[in-house]
A = this chain, B = another copy of it.
C-alpha cells in the first residue's frame, strides 16, 4: 500500500521536483474552482458547522480530558472540544512508531505525505471555513493563502526533503586498491536516512497552516513523528489536519501516532514543558518574539526553527507609477489587516519627498495620498471585509490603541474603525491605522507593530532610510524590504544591504504582486541572519537538519 501512494502521486511529484529545481511559478493547489462554486462553499460551511458544539474525535493515547474554547473573530462561539492528552504518552507513542517509519524508506514516507496533502486539498473548503472562524481570515483569503498556498509550501517541503535524502545513495561498494599485488579491500556500505527524533510544531493564531504544513511535512518525510501544538485560539484547522494525517497513515499501514495533536491543558504551558523534553529533537514555532527567543536559547537539545514577528519595511525614494505604488502599498497594508508575518510595518520616506518623473511629492501629500488610498480600498464594507478579514486577537488592537493615545493627534494620519457588516454583527474588524512617527520613537512603538497599523517614518535621505531599516532588521528582526527607486545606485545599495541583513528585497512593486505574498516553489523567506526567523522557506537547511545518515558496513566478498 505505502509505496503505491508514491507511484500514485508520481506525476505531481515529478513536477514538484522540477519546480523546486527551477523556482519558477508553480502553484499546484491554487486551482480553486470551489470558491466560484456556491454548492462547494456551502458544503464546506456545512462540514465546518458540524464541528460546532461537538467533541472532535481523535483516537490518541493518554487522553486525560477534553478542552476547547474557540470564539470566531467573526462572532460565533465554536464550542468545539478536543482531546487533551498527556504529552509523555504522545511522545512515547510517537517514538514507538519511528523504527517502522524509518525502515519504510523515503519513497513510502513521501507517498504518505503526498496523500495527506491531497486529502487536505479535498477538505479545502472545510479547512477554509475552519481557518476563517479561528484566525479571522476572510474566506477567500483562507482558501487561497492558508489552504492552497500552505499546501504548496507543504509539497515544496516534502520535495526538498526527498531531494536532500537522495543526495546520498542507499548503498555503495567501496573498493580500495592495495599495493604489492594484494587484493583490494572491499566494503559493502548501506546508508540510511534516519530521523533526529520527535518533532514539535507549535502553531500561531493567525497563519497556523501556512507555517505548520511545511514544518509537518519536512519532519514527517524525513522520518520524524510530529506533535502539533495549536494556538488555543486556532485549534480546529490543525485538528482537521492532524485527523486527516492520522487517517492516511492508518490506511497506509503505519502508526497514526506519527502525527498527533497536543492541546493545552488547564496550565496553558504545555508547549513550554514539552519543548524542553530530551525526546523532542526538532521544534518549529511561529509566533511571539518572547517565546521564540526563549526556544532559541533554551531548547538546546533540539533543532529550532523559529519565525518571530518581523518589522518589515518599505523605503520610498522615487517611482514611475505613483498611483500603482500607492495602490500596491495600501493593499499590502490592508491585506488580512496586517496580521501576516510579511506585512509592511514601516514606510520610510525622505524629508525631501517622493520623486515622480521631474516632480517631488512632499511628504505631507504622500501621507495624505496613502491614507486616502487605504480609505478607498476599505470604503465598501463587503469588499473591505474580503480584504481585511477580522482581527484574531484583541491584544494587538489594545497595543495599537495605546500607541495612538500617546501620539500627538497631528501625527495620526488615519484612525482605524470597525466595519459595519450586517452578516457578522459581532465581528472584530478594524481598518488600518496610519501614524507618522520619528525614527527615534520606533523603539517605544515596537509592541504595537502587529495588525492593522503602519508607520510612516521621515528620514534625511533614502540612504538614511536604508540605514534605519538595516538597524531595525538587525536589532528587532525583519523579513522583507520593498524599495521604490528608479536610481540604480540606490537599488545596488539596497541589494548589498539585503545580502548583509538577510532581507528579501522587492523593488518597485506597483501591480498585483504584494510584498506580503510569497510563492511556494519560488520565494525564499526568513534567513536566520537577522533575528526575525532562523528558518527559511524552504532552503536546504530547512530539511537537512531534520535527519542524518547512518552507515552500516561489512566486508564484501572479492
Contacts and interface: CB of A to CB of B under 8 A. Distances in A.
Interface string A252-294: 0000000000000000000000000000000000000000000
Contacts of A554: 506-509
A175 B519 CA distance: 11
Contacts of A176: 25, 27, 519
Interface stretch (A359-367, A402-410, A459-467, A540-548): A540-548
Interface stretch (A187-195, A237-245, A390-398): A187-195
Interface in A158-188: 163-164, 167-169, 172-178, 185, 187
A468 interface: no
Given A524-B191, A555-B510, A544 B550 contact: no
Given A99-B496, A512-B185, A504 B550 contact: yes
Nearest to A515: B553
A369 interface: no
A394 to B, nearest CB: 32
- Choose among A27, A505, A549, A554 the residue with the greatest number of B CB atoms under 10 Å from its CB: A549
A75 B387 CA distance: 78
Given A173-B24, A513-B555, A519-B174, A539 B550 contact: no
A505 B164 CA distance: 22
A529 B196 contact: yes
Contact of A194 (B178, B499, B513, B552): B499
A417 interface: no
B529 A194 contact: yes
Contacts of A189: 23, 522-523
Contact of A502 (B24, B185, B519, B548): B548
A146 B529 CA distance: 34
Contact of A499 (B27, B99, B513, B543): B99
Contacts of A194: 499-500, 502, 527, 529
B528 A548 contact: yes
Nearest to A509: B555
Interface in A79-116: 98-99, 102-103
Nearest to A502: B550
A21 interface: yes
A102 B169 CA distance: 31
A512 to B, nearest CB: 6
Interface in A449-502: 495-496, 498-500, 502
Contacts of A522: 172, 174, 189
A24 B172 contact: yes
Contacts of A25: 174-177
B519 A548 contact: no
Nearest to A172: B23
A418 interface: no
Contacts of A496: 99
A157 B551 CA distance: 18
Contacts of A540: 164, 167-168, 540, 543-544
A171 to B, nearest CB: 9
Given A495-B552, A529-B196, A541 B539 contact: no
Contacts of A103: 499
A536 interface: yes
Nearest to A190: B495
A22 interface: yes
Contacts of A164: 540, 544
A103 B168 CA distance: 30
Nearest to A177: B25
A503 interface: yes
A154 interface: no
Contact of A22 (B169, B297, B507): B169
Contacts of A102: 499
A365 to B, nearest CB: 25
B528 A550 contact: no
Interface in A21-42: 21-25, 27
A499 B192 contact: yes
A498 B529 contact: no
Given A23-B191, A297-B300, A544-B541, A527 B508 contact: no
A172 B22 contact: yes
Contacts of A167: 21, 163, 540
Given A23-B191, A194-B500, 6 more contacts: A22-B169, A168-B524, A192-B499, A194-B499, A513-B555, A523-B553
Interface of A: 21-25, 27, 98-99, 102-103, 163-164, 167-169, 172-178, 185, 187, 189, 191-192, 194, 196-197, 296-297, 300, 495-496, 498-500, 502-513, 519, 522-525, 527-529, 536, 539-541, 543-545, 547-555
* 10 nearest A-B residue pairs (beta carbon): A507-B554, A540-B544, A544-B544, A541-B544, A527-B548, A297-B300, A23-B172, A505-B552, A524-B551, A524-B549
14 contacts: A99-B496, A103-B499, A167-B540, A168-B540, A194-B500, A196-B528, A297-B300, A498-B550, A505-B550, A506-B552, A510-B555, A524-B549, A528-B548, A544-B544
